[in-house]
Structure formats: structure tokens, C-alpha cells
Amino acid sequence: MPDALELISRDAARPPYFLAIDVGGTNLKFGIVDDNGHTLGRCSVRTEQEKGPEDACQRMNQVGRKLAIDCSVDMDDVARVGLATPGTMDVAAGMLLQPHNLPDWWNFPIRDHLESVIGKPVSFANDANAAAYGEYWVGSGAEFRSMVLFTLGTGVGGGIILDGKSVDGEHSHGSECGHMYVDSGPTARMCGCGQAGHLEAYVSAKAVVQRTREALPRNRQSTIADRLEAGEELTPLLVAQEADRDDRLALEIVMETAMYLSLGVVNMMHIIDPDAVILGGAMNFGGHATAVGRRFLERLRRDVRMRAFPALVDVTYIDFATLGGHAGYIGAAGIARSHYQS
């Protein structure tokens, strides 16, 4: 049974509709989205990746059709299906290659298989690129012509929207903004991918935890140390909470994260020069909802101002994403819609 079925008012809902599925290592998120990017209903089920991709495609069909019924949408009015998955992948071929968190799904032609199971054309996209498209379509980037999204989570991903399209790259490796070098000096930090000096090694959730852990021995008076001694787990949320209570070390870690992130943001401003740079993902120290999240954003903007070409600082919008964990399925629906229209 789907978890967390949410039905949203379908007043003003307008066909064609799009069924979108965002595949993660833990959950499959489903949404029925209308032509304006409005969600009629959404739900999620466990991925159960170990059952393999054929089983998952069967469940995508069952859960998707059930969701359409729950939303009072006739499947005949569902024009296309949007499917977002983590990489590695071959977007053009519709193939999963070796996604890290889906080890039992490797080298699987998921687009064509899902098409045959569900009986609808499927648009296939990288999950971070789909999230970028979602924010561009109806989220934080909706007022802009071009946009770069950083997704800050356990790792760091990205998406670039130019001329209304996601920059997927010729080999499905475009917009991997977490894996750009921002440091090649003697103190460069090791990235999860095995290279030193990538942005992800500084601003991912893992990196925030790692930097905090390294700084603790020099900052024993930090309230972070007290909470760890009480048995709590060190997380970016814990750091954010202590920063909100003005713990000096916690604040330093947050501000240092903003400084490192500014290197990546400025690189994308100098390479892509978009209208907007949007920060998605859960590793945002609370975003606009907390004082420390707002200070994080302020510090990022300040550091970008110090580092970017002066002509860009007042004309490049920098803010948090607004769609949260829904960006992926909404963007997958948006990409399906763009394929339907063309």
C-alpha cells in the first residue's frame, strides 16, 4: 500500500495529466501533475530495490494507476509518464547503468520496460536534473529564463536549465556540479568519488559532519560536544540547532560551508551565467525557516558578491529551492510535458 497518500484540490486542474515517478534508493515517489505543474495527488512506496527493476516497474504501474483513480484522473488523460532515477545512466538510450544505491538494477533498459508495462510513453531523466527542471517550471526558478540548481544532501548534485532544457550532457554526465574541483591545494579534501578537492567534499552533509568532527578537539567547550557525549549522532541538523543557539563552533561550520559553496556558485556564474542559482536538498541548515538557515544564505550571497564578476552580483538571483522533496517528480512530469509538447 502507498504511504502518505496526499490528495490536493483538483479545482482548476487541467489536462493533459502526467504521471511522474521519482526513484530513490529508499522510496518511489509518485505524483499526478497537470499541465500547469499543479499536483493533484502524490504518494510513495518503498523501493525494495532488491526485488529488481522488473518488479519495481510492475509496482510503478499498479501504484500509478491507483493514484490516478484516487485523483479521479482517467488514465486516457495521462499523456506521458515521467521517470527520474539516480545515475549512472544513459538518458538517450533509456538505460540505467550503475546507480550506486540501486545495485540490483544495473544495466537495465528501464525506460522501454516501463513503457511496455504501463502502456504509455515514458520520459527518462536524471533525478537531480529533473529536480532542477521542477524548480525551473513551478518552483524557486519559475520567474527565470535559465537556472542552476545545487542539490545539497548526503552528496552534492546539480542541474542546469538553459533555453528551457536540462543540460544532460552528451554522455548523461552533465550538471554534475558536486564533482567540480574547487581545491587542488595540499589540503584538498577527499570526495566520495575518490578524487580530492571536489565541491561535494566541502558542502555535502557528510562533509559538514566530517569538518565538525575534525574541529571538535580544538573546541571542547562547544555545545555540540555536550550533545555527542549525551549519545546523540552528529548531523548537519544538530550543527544547525547549536548554531541557532549561538554555539561558536557550530556557527563557524555553517559559515565555512557557505564560503565553500560560494566557490561552486561563482564557478557556475562564470561558466553558465544563469539568471538564478537555487539551493535544493535537505542540507540547508533549515533554509528560510530558521535564523541560521537565513544566515547561511546571507553569508553565501556575501561571499559570492566578493568573488563573482561585479557585473553579475546584482543580477543573479540566489535563493533556496521551494519544492523540497517533491522537485524530482514534479520535474519528471515537466520533462514529460515538454516531450509531449514537442
CB of 179: closest distance to a second copy in angstroms? 5
Q: What is the biggest distance separating any 2 CA atoms in the chain, rounded to whole angstroms?
A: 63
Stretch that binds a second copy, among 108-116, 188-196, 227-235, 326-334 (CB under 8 A): 188-196
Q: CA 341 to CA 121: how far, in whole Å?
A: 13
Q: Which is nearer to a second copy, 114 or 182 (CB)?
A: 182
Q: Which of 48, 70, 112, 183 binds a second copy (CB under 8 A)?
A: 183
Q: Which of 162, 190, 289, 291 binds a second copy (CB under 8 A)?
A: 162
Do 333 and 83 form a contact (C-beta atoms < 8 A)?
no
Do 272 and 146 form a contact (C-beta atoms < 8 A)?
yes
CB of 149: closest distance to a second copy in angstroms? 13
Q: Which of 14, 46, 100, 165 binds a second copy (CB under 8 A)?
A: 165
Q: CA 245 to CA 227: how far, in whole Å?
A: 13
Residue 273 in contact with a second copy, rule: CB under 8 A: yes
Q: Which of 27, 58, 62, 88 binds a second copy (CB under 8 A)?
A: 88
Residue 180 in contact with a second copy, rule: CB under 8 A: yes
Give the contacts of 283 (CB within 8 A, at least 6 positions apart).
Answer: 152, 153, 154, 203, 204, 205, 208, 236
Residues 297-336 close enough to bind a second copy by CB under 8 A: 307, 309, 311-312, 315-316
Number of Cβ within a 10 Å radius of residue 191? 22
Residue 342 in contact with a second copy, rule: CB under 8 A: no
Residue 268 in contact with a second copy, rule: CB under 8 A: yes
Site string for a second copy, 138-157 (x = CB under 8 A): -------xx-----------
Q: Which of 83, 272, 321, 330 binds a second copy (CB under 8 A)?
A: 272
Residue 97 in contact with a second copy, rule: CB under 8 A: yes
Instruction: For the chain, state the CA radius of gyration.
Output: 20
CB of 310: closest distance to a second copy in angstroms? 9
132-169 residues labelled b (16+ CB within 10 A) or e (exposed) = bbbbbbbbbbeebebbbbbbbbebbbbbbbeeeebbbe
Among residues 33, 45, 35, the alpha carbon closest in space to that of 8 is found at 33
Using CB atoms within 10 A of its CB, is residue 57 exposed (0-12), middle (13-18) or buried (19+)?
buried
Do 181 and 198 form a contact (C-beta atoms < 8 A)?
yes
Q: Which is nearer to a second copy, 317 or 340 (CB)?
A: 317
Q: CA 233 to CA 251: how far, in whole Å?
A: 18
Site string for a second copy, 190-229 (x = CB under 8 A): ---x-x-x--------------------------------
Stretch that binds a second copy, among 52-60, 133-141, 259-267, 295-303 (CB under 8 A): 259-267
Stretch that binds a second copy, among 33-41, 168-176, 228-236, 289-297 (CB under 8 A): 168-176
25: enclosing H helix or E strand: none
Do 100 and 38 form a contact (C-beta atoms < 8 A)?
no
Q: CA 315 to CA 277: how far, in whole Å?
A: 11
Using CB atoms within 10 A of its CB, is residue 282 exposed (0-12), middle (13-18) or buried (19+)?
middle
Stretch that binds a second copy, among 53-61, 183-191, 219-227, 231-239 (CB under 8 A): 183-191
Q: Which is nearer to a second copy, 186 or 231 (CB)?
A: 186
Residue 279 in contact with a second copy, rule: CB under 8 A: no
For binding to a second copy (CB under 8 A), which residues are involved? 88, 97, 145-146, 158, 160, 162-163, 165, 167-177, 179-188, 193, 195, 197, 260, 263, 266-275, 307, 309, 311-312, 315-316
